[in-house]
């Protein structure tokens, strides 16, 4: 028996379309014909809507018109029906648009209410959080384990970068592949590229260490343990300048560790490639742009790993555990090992993201790792659609944009146009709370759901209550 679901806001529209389709094509049209009809209708709607929205708002702003034409050209025609190359058209075109973003973002139009397009520094943060959201999606979306302390892995990644690429441990002087640092500067100075890998493995290791004792607990206990762990981490970071009175300065306390070294390829590679590869990211002329492109590369790597993991033997075991733990165990899926791998996998990407972010900001502070951030990342996964990597990315980009620029812009618009005086960014986490609540109540599968997850939420769990819960 399917759980009674509230009707989606698009359901009435869909029914009308069905009626229209039957009237135009007759009752027994072939699926191909119906698909073509639907596509034609969608194209028509997009064209008309675009004309209606864009024309009055922008007065035929060429940038807006171009953006609308490009997106229509990309998403309306049936590109995927071209044999062989067809299925690559949309991803490749999207990727090209993303990579070219630094060149056209400041000539873009202003979106009503939301304001201008995000700048490149915001774009880097958006991509970093997209990476974290994809990592958390492995734990929450694939394996169905609620992790409320994901920020801990982000913290471990950040502090790994900070420890081994700054003057924090000044009584040692170790240099290896760092850029822009004089050879006599004290402290560890390891190349950020190596530290990304180190942070990933360290986070994964910590994930396993936390996971082993706690993963045998049931889901909600796991949630609270991860939450506890996520609360302990920033406290260690905050009090770590004098560990239990021993005088050992691990984290430099509330002052944080700063500056963190910059990533870069060094002078030799810079010269050999004719200046294509920057020698030092932070001092490069197009500093934000190179950080942005590298972040795009890291996100692509994360997406690739995540997709391959999902379709692997391990990934299928995760999904089996998520759908029915008992049945999965009965089929021979080793629960503990599989869950621990999910944990480690999620932590891995959290670590990379944390280390890269620390190197981008050039600093690490304990205040960056509050519980709020864990919830924000969870909110990205839930909003986008648990289990669907594309949904999660969209959720992450959108929410990080709101966090960095969007809410301030929206607030300014509201206060100006409605005569209000609200500090909208102050209520950011209340807004995230509302998003969590509304999405779980009305569209638990998220905005862009994976078909499988959607079915689970519609079917519900197997022990259906006998009594009616809907009144």
Q: Which is nearer to other proteins, 213 or 419 (CB)?
A: 213
DSSP-assigned states of every residue in 350-392: HHHHHHHHHHHHT-B-GGGG-HHHHHHHHHHHHHH-TT-HHHH
* Listed residue (150, 160, 154) closest to 196, CA to CA: 160
Question: Can you tell me which of 223, 314, 414, 448 binds other proteins, judged by CB under 8 A?
Answer: 223
Residues 457, 70: Cα–Cα separation, whole Å:
35
- Work out which of 245, 247, 332, 419 binds other proteins, going by CB under 8 A: 245
466 touches other proteins (CB under 8 A)? yes
Question: What tokens appear for 447 in the block?
Answer: 């905005």
- When asked if residue 467 is in the footprint of other proteins (CB under 8 A), the reply is yes
Count of residues in contact with other proteins, rule CB under 8 A: 55
Indicate the residue among 119 and 241 with the shorter CB distance to other proteins. 241
Q: ∠270-271-272 over CA atoms, to 5°?
A: 95
Nearer of residues 201 and 429 to other proteins, judged by Cβ: 429
Looking at 160, 191, 203, 214, which residue binds other proteins (CB under 8 A)? 214
- Residues 357-376 close enough to bind other proteins by CB under 8 A: 371, 375
CA proximity to 21, closest of 4, 10, 36, 6:
36
Residue whose CB is less far from other proteins, 78 or 254: 254
Of the pair 52, 422, the CB lying nearest other proteins is at 422
Beta-bridge partner residues of 111: 115
455 lies in the site for other proteins, by CB under 8 A:
no
Taking CB under 8 A as the rule, does residue 329 contact other proteins?
Answer: no
Residue 220 binds to other proteins (criterion: CB under 8 A): yes
Going by C-beta distance under 8 Å and a sequence separation of 6 or more, which residues neighbour residue 338?
A: 143, 314, 317, 318, 321
Of 322 and 404, CB closest to other proteins = 322
d(CA 189, CA 27): 71
Please tell me what DSSP assigns to residue 1: -
Give how far Cα 55 sits from Cα of 43, 70, 415, 465, Å. 17, 16, 26, 52
Q: How far apart are CA 435 and CA 449, in angstroms?
A: 16
Does position 244 interact with other proteins (CB under 8 A)? The reply is yes
Gap between the Cα atoms of 22 and 20, Å rounded: 5
Between 349 and 432, CB nearer to other proteins: 432
Q: Is 436 in the site for other proteins (CB under 8 A)?
A: yes
Two tokens at 394? Answer: 């969209």
Q: Which stretch binds other proteins (CB under 8 A): 265-273, 296-304, 305-313, 462-470?
A: 462-470
**Does residue 38 belong to the site contacting other proteins (CB under 8 A)?**
no
Tokens 């806001």 label which residue?
A: 9
In this chain, which of 219, 297, 334, 367 binds other proteins, going by CB under 8 A? 219
Selected from 140, 161, 358, 377, the binder of other proteins by CB under 8 A is 140
Q: Tell me if 39 contacts other proteins by CB under 8 A.
A: no
User: Given the rule CB under 8 A, which residues bind other proteins?
Assistant: 3, 140, 144, 146, 148, 213-214, 216-221, 223-225, 227-229, 231-232, 235-236, 238-239, 244-245, 371, 375, 378, 382, 426-427, 429-437, 440-441, 444, 456-457, 460-461, 464-467, 469-470
């Amino acid at each position: 028996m399917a759980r009674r679901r509230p009707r989606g806001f698009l359901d009435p529209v869909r029914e009308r379309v069905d009626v229209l389709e039957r009237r135009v094509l007759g009752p027994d049209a072939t699926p191909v014909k119906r698909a073509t009809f639907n596509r034609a209708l969608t194209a028509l709607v997009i064209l008309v809507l675009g004309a209606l929205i864009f024309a009055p708002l922008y007065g035929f702003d060429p940038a807006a018109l171009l953006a609308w034409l490009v997106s229509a050209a990309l998403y309306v025609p049936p590109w995927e029906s071209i044999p062989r190359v067809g299925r690559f058209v949309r991803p490749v075109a999207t990727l090209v648009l993303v990579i070219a973003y630094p060149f056209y973002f400041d000539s873009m139009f202003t979106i009503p209410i939301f304001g201008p397009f995000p700048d490149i520094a915001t774009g880097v943060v958006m991509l970093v959080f997209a990476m974290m959201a994809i990592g958390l999606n492995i734990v929450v979306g694939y394996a169905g384990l609620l992790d409320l302390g994901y920020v801990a892995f982000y913290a471990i990644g950040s502090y790994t970068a900070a420890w081994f690429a700054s003057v924090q441990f000044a009584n040692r002087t170790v240099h290896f592949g760092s850029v822009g640092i004089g050879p006599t500067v004290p402290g560890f100075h390891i190349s950020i590229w190596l530290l990304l890998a180190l942070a990933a493995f360290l986070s994964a290791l910590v994930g396993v260490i936390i996971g082993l004792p706690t993963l045998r607990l049931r889901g909600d206990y796991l949630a609270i343990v991860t939450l506890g762990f996520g609360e302990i981490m920033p406290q260690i970071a905050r009090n770590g300048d004098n560990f239990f009175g021993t005088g050992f300065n691990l984290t430099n306390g509330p002052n944080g560790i700063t500056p963190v070294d910059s990533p870069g390829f060094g002078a030799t590679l810079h010269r050999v490639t004719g200046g294509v590869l920057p020698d030092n990211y932070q001092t490069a002329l197009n500093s934000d742009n190179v950080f942005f492109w590298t972040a795009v590369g890291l996100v692509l790597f994360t997406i690739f790993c995540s997709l391959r993991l999902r379709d692997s033997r391990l990934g299928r075991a995760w999904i089996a555990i998520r759908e029915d733990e008992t049945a999965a165990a009965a089929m021979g899926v080793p629960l503990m090992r599989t869950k621990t791998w999910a944990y480690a996998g999620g932590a891995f990407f959290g670590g990379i993201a944390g280390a890269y972010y620390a190197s981008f900001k050039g600093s690490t502070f304990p205040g960056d790792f509050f519980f709020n951030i864990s919830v924000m990342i969870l909110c990205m996964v839930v909003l986008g659609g648990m289990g669907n990597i594309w949904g999660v990315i969209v959720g992450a980009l959108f929410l990080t944009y709101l966090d960095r620029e969007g809410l301030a812009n929206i607030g300014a618009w509201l206060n100006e146009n409605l005569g209000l005086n609200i500090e909208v960014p102050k209520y950011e986490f209340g807004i995230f709370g509302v998003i969590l609540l509304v999405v779980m109540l009305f569209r638990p599968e998220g905005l862009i759901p994976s078909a499988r997850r959607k079915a689970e939420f519609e079917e519900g769990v197997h022990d259906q209550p006998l009594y009616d819960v809907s009144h």
